[in-house]
Amino acid sequence: MAIKLSENDLLEKLGRIAKAATRPPRAGSQLRLGIGDDAAVFRPSPGSETVLTCDWFLEGIHFLREAHPPDSIGWKCLARALSDLAAMGATPKCFLLSLAIPPSCTGPWLDGFLNGLRRASRKFHCPLAGGDTTRHERVLLNLTAVGELPAATAVLRSGARVGDYIYVSGRLGEAELGLRLLRKGQRQLSGHINPCLRKHLYPQPRLKLGQRLRERNVATSMMDLSDGLSTDLNRLCAASLVGARLEMGRIPVPHGSDDRIKASNLLNFALHGGDDYELLFTVPRKKANRLPASFEGVTLTRIGEITSGRSIQVTLPDGRKEFLLPAGWDPFRK
Amino acid sequence: MAIKLSENDLLEKLGRIAKAATRPPRAGSQLRLGIGDDAAVFRPSPGSETVLTCDWFLEGIHFLREAHPPDSIGWKCLARALSDLAAMGATPKCFLLSLAIPPSCTGPWLDGFLNGLRRASRKFHCPLAGGDTTRHERVLLNLTAVGELPAATAVLRSGARVGDYIYVSGRLGEAELGLRLLRKGQRQLSGHINPCLRKHLYPQPRLKLGQRLRERNVATSMMDLSDGLSTDLNRLCAASLVGARLEMGRIPVPHGSDDRIKASNLLNFALHGGDDYELLFTVPRKKANRLPASFEGVTLTRIGEITSGRSIQVTLPDGRKEFLLPAGWDPFRK
């Protein structure tokens, strides 16, 4: 296909999307200047801190152009970055998108992508503030999300204390299971999209849960589960200089799934599968009773507790104990 | 080369760099939380606005791994993003780096890259706040720069008014000439690095000039010259809904260069060459006398004036007039 689009054309297209994705500019809007200048200008709320995160989303590494619908790629590239804001307890404010695409993707693919992005932008009240566009033989995405929270209230990875209970939101391993269904081409079950596939394609960052945990001062530490429980819990423990003891029987594996999938596989997905974008957090025992069993339809499950050792032990249903080593997603090990 | 580095190892390496690049944390530091958590936390100055920009820097598109020293790639990926902050009149505060590299680049290449990045980070007082790392067959870089300025003082592209004089800092086309020297393998002239090559490899964002123009309220519009004067002046005029008249004889072409390069080529480099990272700005006639002939060793040259037409006309030395169409760097036209 001939290259008909110039960089200016693409920027203009993004500018129109930005306008469509955001409400009409209001006098009180914190986004003072969006796409179209050298940089975006954002007015911080008085007394707040700004939370900043950036995330790769690369064809062939994080998604497959042949398998993933462009609408899902647009949704997910924003949702997964917002999950990092959720993990600090922050509220999204705006985002910057860097987009590199082949000329063949400037037509329907780009429209689909922008449609998914726009839906996520509206859903999570997070307007597009700026970006950079260029040409590349494969689709490359990088997204910077900007959030806010009251000064000195961010929930960090490093705050877990010995004796704290460990919780996760939702069910773990569903996105990994969804990815496997996608690879097998099982995109739909009896006309409806499979829930695990939906979670893989359209993850929901746990923004309100993260904010609530921060506001109530319930969680001592928090992070999002993007690379798998075994990898991410090891990171949380390393940051907090603690260890953990998990009860295998408590870990919320995917349910309602295909009966042909063995229980041991489900447990493996839950321990090591990536892309769930659930929250992992610790709560002091004396505050555990303040935590509801679920929050806005998402279950909150206690899976173990923080220990003084520097390792993570898992107690199997038969009482045996094993060490849990990081075996989640690592791009340098694939 | 076997893959020995995990994502955690690379993050740790970046964390060490971040520590080395920044001064020891001080009580008053605005960067409250850097690398190692889900997101960075930044405390804005009271009464300020935050300026945000992101920039691709991709192997094969923006640099050549065989030709560009890794030290230059590290320096330039930060310097060119900071040039966007300079163009608003902002002061750099911190940056996020997204890095994707092949396993073969995790050794000396990465060390060289981080060395150049660290030097730029120190020079421009802009610490690394966070990032994302992954594996890719080619080196991919994306950099988000965060700056600040007093609320409602950003200098935009859209403020040029009919009759304003048009200025540029420095000499234009030098970086393009430097790139050509690099491609020919002429990296050094008599033991010293050629000034045009140095400008291509180690551009200097005009941060102090941008800040001064904003503080003195001298410039009605401003942007940085990254894609070439013909492309960027067309963008400034489009944003301001104006046109321009340039005097070809006034345009500061590279000097001190190889005599074998024809004058017409030098003018072409100055009009259409990318990567100069000089500032393009407009000044009302009655404020023109406030502008010095140079600022901190960088010449400021009046090259023309803003007109009410929507096109850009160039007056040639023989008095003939031509239209200047955007013919600078456009990744979608290459």
Kindly state the DSSP code that residue B158 receives in the 8-state scheme.
G
pLDDT at A213: 98
H or E stretch including B20? helix B7-21
* Residue among B6, B62, B131 minimizing CB distance to A330: B6
Q: Where are the alpha helices (DSSP H) in B54-194?
A: 70-86, 108-123, 174-183
Residues of chain A with pLDDT > 90: what percent? 75
Q: Are A141 and A72 in contact (CB under 8 A)?
A: no
Q: Are B176 and B278 in contact (CB under 8 A)?
A: no
H or E stretch including A13? helix A7-21
Using the beta-carbon criterion (under 8 Å), do B54 and A223 form an inter-chain contact?
no
Question: Is the predicted pLDDT of residue A51 greater than 90, yes or no?
Answer: yes
Closest CA in chain B for residue A139: B140
Q: Are A59 and A182 in contact (CB under 8 A)?
A: no
pLDDT for A66-80, tens place per residue?
A: 999 999 999 999 999
The owner of tokens 């009580």 is B27
Instruction: Decide: residue A1, CB within 10 A, 0-12 exposed, 13-18 middle, 19+ buried.
Output: exposed
* Residue among B39, B50, B334 minimizing CB distance to A53: B39
Contacts of B327 in chain A (CB under 8 A): none
pLDDT for B185-194, tens place per residue?
A: 765 555 678 8
Contacts of B142 in chain A (CB under 8 A): 54, 56, 98, 132, 142
* Residue among A38, A53, A135 minimizing CB distance to B88: A38
Query: In which band, very low, low, confident or very high, does the pLDDT at A235 lie, cut at 50, 70 and 90?
Result: very high
Question: Is the predicted pLDDT of residue B257 greater than 80, yes or no?
Answer: no
pLDDT for B79-132, tens place per residue?
A: 999 999 999 999 999 999 999 999 899 889 999 999 999 999 999 999 999 989
Using the beta-carbon criterion (under 8 Å), do A5 and B144 form an inter-chain contact?
no
pLDDT at A22: 46
From A259's Cα to the closest Cα of chain B, the distance in A is 35
Question: Is the predicted pLDDT of residue A229 greater than 70, yes or no?
Answer: yes
Contacts of B53 in chain A (CB under 8 A): 38-40, 96, 130
Question: Is the predicted pLDDT of residue B333 greater than 50, yes or no?
Answer: yes
Distances in Å between the Cα of A49 and the Cα atoms of A153, B27, B46, B48 are: 9, 15, 11, 12
pLDDT at A329: 77
Rounded to whole angstroms, the Cα distance separating B221 from A308 reads 59
Rounded to whole angstroms, the Cα distance separating B238 from B332 reads 20
Residues of chain B with pLDDT > 70: what percent? 87
From B57's Cα to the closest Cα of chain A, the distance in A is 10
Can you read off the two tokens belonging to residue B50?
């935050």
Q: Name which residue leads in pLDDT, B207 or B20.
A: B207
Question: Is the predicted pLDDT of residue A180 greater than 80, yes or no?
Answer: yes
pLDDT for B210-235, tens place per residue?
A: 999 999 999 999 999 999 999 999 99
Query: In which band, very low, low, confident or very high, does the pLDDT at B202 lie, cut at 50, 70 and 90?
Result: very high
Dihedral angle, C-alpha A68, A73, A79, A81, nearest 10 °: 110
pLDDT for B22-39, tens place per residue?
A: 444 455 689 989 888 889
Q: Name which residue leads in pLDDT, A309 or A11.
A: A309
From B314's Cα to the closest Cα of chain A, the distance in A is 22
Weakest mean pLDDT among B134-138, B206-210, B257-261: B257-261
Q: Are B78 and B120 in contact (CB under 8 A)?
A: yes
Closest CA in chain A for residue B83: A38
Longest dimension (CA), chain B: 65
Instruction: Decide: residue B152, CB within 10 A, 0-12 exposed, 13-18 middle, 19+ buried.
Output: exposed
From A333's Cα to the closest Cα of chain B, the distance in A is 7
pLDDT at B7: 62
Dihedral angle, C-alpha A226, A227, A232, A234, nearest 10 °: 180
Query: In which band, very low, low, confident or very high, does the pLDDT at A25 lie, cut at 50, 70 and 90?
Result: very low
Rounded to whole angstroms, the Cα distance separating A16 from B220 reads 26
Region A123-140 average pLDDT: 93
Using the beta-carbon criterion (under 8 Å), do B52 and A330 form an inter-chain contact?
no
Rounded to whole angstroms, the Cα distance separating B233 from B325 reads 10
Contacts of A142 in chain B (CB under 8 A): 54, 56, 98, 132, 142
pLDDT at B183: 86
Instruction: Decide: residue B278, CB within 10 A, 0-12 exposed, 13-18 middle, 19+ buried.
Output: buried
pLDDT at B35: 83
pLDDT for A278-306, tens place per residue?
A: 999 999 999 999 999 999 999 999 999 99
pLDDT at B1: 34
pLDDT at B22: 45
* Residue among A32, A46, A223 minimizing CB distance to B38: A223
Using the beta-carbon criterion (under 8 Å), do A38 and B3 form an inter-chain contact?
no
* Residue among B9, B32, B53 minimizing CB distance to A39: B53
> Across all residues in chain A, what is the average pLDDT?
90
> What sign does the CA torsion over B288, B293, B295, B301 have?
positive
Using the beta-carbon criterion (under 8 Å), do A52 and B96 form an inter-chain contact?
yes
Using the beta-carbon criterion (under 8 Å), do B84 and A330 form an inter-chain contact?
no
Instruction: Encode burial over A58-90: b for 16+ CB neighbours within 10 A, e otherwise.
Output: bbebbbeeeebbbbbbbbbbbbbbbbbbbbbbb
